[in-house]
Amino acid sequence: MAIVKPFKAVRATRDKVAMVSSKSYEIYTPAMLDSKLAFNPYTFLHVINPGYKYHKQDISGELRFKLVHNRYLEFKENEIFKQDKVPAFYIYQKITPTKSFCGIISATSVADYHNNVIKKHEGTLKQRELLFENYLKNTGFNAEPVLLTYPDNAVIASIIKKYKQQRAEYEFSTTDKDSHLLWIVDDELDIKEITTAFKEIDTLYIADGHHRSTSSCLLAERLAEENPNHTGNEDYNFFMSYLLPESELSIYEFNRFIKDLNGLSPHEFLIELDTFFRIENRNQEFYKPKEKHHFSMYLDGEFYALYLRKSLYNFTDALSKLDAQILYTTVLKPILGIDDIRNDSKIVYSQDKSDGLELKTKVDSGLFKVSFGMLPTSINELKEIVDADLLMPPKTTYIEPKLRSALTIYEF
């Protein structure tokens, strides 16, 4: 039973939202960030990059977090941000040149995370968890929802469809040719219907935002300990999420690029691969895998197709069937000597939705010796692994939609 709750979002006024909302901070290069800050006084980037006001960009730690809180207060004082007067759900639709995503922004339960109603598919780094917990504690808000997915539900879909026939509260486009629309659901009957529908859903899966959800849970534990009158209904017992039906989730693969062959020549490396793979040399013809357990490889100026010898590979559980795990256990660790695939500097991950040209160009540049490509992980594979209480290797999935910051803000 999944618990979702409407909340009073803090959000930009309709006339300014296109200028206020931003992509995630990490996406911007320094040059892009400087340009946004210099020419757009309304961008949320001023809030999360507070040192710009003082011409000082190297502010860090708790001082930065406190200044973020101050810039946030200024946006509210200047009425760039206003808080809704009644709790609501928010239907948000993002339309890209190739796909449309539409789901519900809500508050989701920390208790559901602890009770495994909200499940994760990736591990998290303790240092990042604590850093973001400290950020939340000092700023008092979260501006970017966790992306959760749920099985398609006819009741929820019908409510979304009804609101999409009405005028949106927000409707704007961005320079990357994406369109953004947001509807406010504050009708009590519709709120009850949404809440009831989610109570009938057994599991929500984290698609993106593992560190944000974990940090929110850590903060809730800390604030509960500090609050002698804790009831479990306080806002800090929930975190903001974007709930998207499974059919609308897009999952892409990450390519793997390796800087050296662990002392092997290309010929010796191919011989080592022959143990677990049937190898086809495609010369200059790019090979895109069409089936699970098939891989593309670019080595020494040529493309190869690798087909797993299933008779020699031991499938023991859902994780062992995952292509990213197969590549790790048969190639990366035993042959190339990459044990810690999260932190080893010899391996680099890249997500490229083009025709796979980067598999060739990055190796030809001399930065890498070999590259690997594979099919994307399916939503059913993800769920099977999660339901078995297993975790995927890092950089297994690149999931869309990527959400903008400050469309709705959750205070606690």
Query: The CATH number of the domain where 270 resides is what?
Result: 3.30.1760
Q: Which one-letter amino acid corresponds to residue 351?
A: Q
Query: In this structure, are 290 and 221 located in the same domain?
Result: no
3-class DSSP state for residue 373? strand
Degrees to nearest 5, angle at CA 36 with 31 and 37: 100
Q: Residue 61: its pLDDT value, please?
A: 87
Whether 259 is covered by a domain: the verdict is yes
Q: Which of 84-93, 123-132, 242-251, 332-341 has the lowest mean pLDDT?
A: 123-132
pLDDT digits (tens, 9 = 90+) for 214-234: 999 999 999 999 999 999 999
Q: Residue 292: its pLDDT value, please?
A: 96
Residue 274 to residue 307: CA distance in whole angstroms: 10
Query: In this structure, are 391 and 404 located in the same domain?
Result: no
Query: In this structure, are 241 and 258 located in the same domain?
Result: no
Whether 56 is covered by a domain: the verdict is no
Please check the confidence at residue 370 and state whether its pLDDT lies above 90: yes
Whether 276 is covered by a domain: the verdict is yes
Q: How many CA atoms lie within 13 A of 144 on its CB side?
A: 22
Q: Residue 258: its pLDDT value, please?
A: 98
Query: In this structure, are 166 and 311 located in the same domain?
Result: no
Name the residue range of residue 313's domain: 254-396
Query: In this structure, are 220 and 286 located in the same domain?
Result: no
Span 359-363, mean pLDDT? 95
Query: In this structure, are 91 and 160 located in the same domain?
Result: yes
Count how many domains the chain has.
Answer: 2
Whether 21 is covered by a domain: the verdict is no
Whether 15 is covered by a domain: the verdict is no
Q: Could you tell me what percent of the chain has a pLDDT over 70?
A: 99
Whether 128 contacts 26, CB under 8 Å: no
Query: In this structure, are 160 and 266 located in the same domain?
Result: no
Q: Residue 354: its pLDDT value, please?
A: 62
Look up residue 235 and give its two tokens. 């806002």
Whether 317 is covered by a domain: the verdict is yes
DSSP-assigned letters across all residues of 229-274: T--S-SGGGEEEEEEEEGGG-EEEPPEEEES--TT--HHHHHHHHT
Whether 367 is covered by a domain: the verdict is yes
Residue 190 to residue 147: CA distance in whole angstroms: 22
Q: Residue 54: its pLDDT value, please?
A: 77
Residue 50 to residue 156: CA distance in whole angstroms: 39
Query: In this structure, are 240 and 268 located in the same domain?
Result: no
Residue 398 to residue 349: CA distance in whole angstroms: 11
Query: In this structure, are 240 and 379 located in the same domain?
Result: no
Query: In this structure, are 274 and 244 located in the same domain?
Result: no
Q: What is the pTM of this model?
A: 0.93
Please check the confidence at residue 235 and state whether its pLDDT lies above 90: yes
Query: In this structure, are 304 and 357 located in the same domain?
Result: yes
Span 262-273, mean pLDDT? 98
Span 18-30, mean pLDDT? 92
Query: In this structure, are 345 and 326 located in the same domain?
Result: yes
Whether 35 is covered by a domain: the verdict is no
Bond into 401 cis (ω within 30): yes
How confident is the prediction for the chain on average, in pLDDT? 95
**51 pLDDT tier (thresholds 50, 70, 90):** confident
Please check the confidence at residue 353 and state whether its pLDDT lies above 80: no
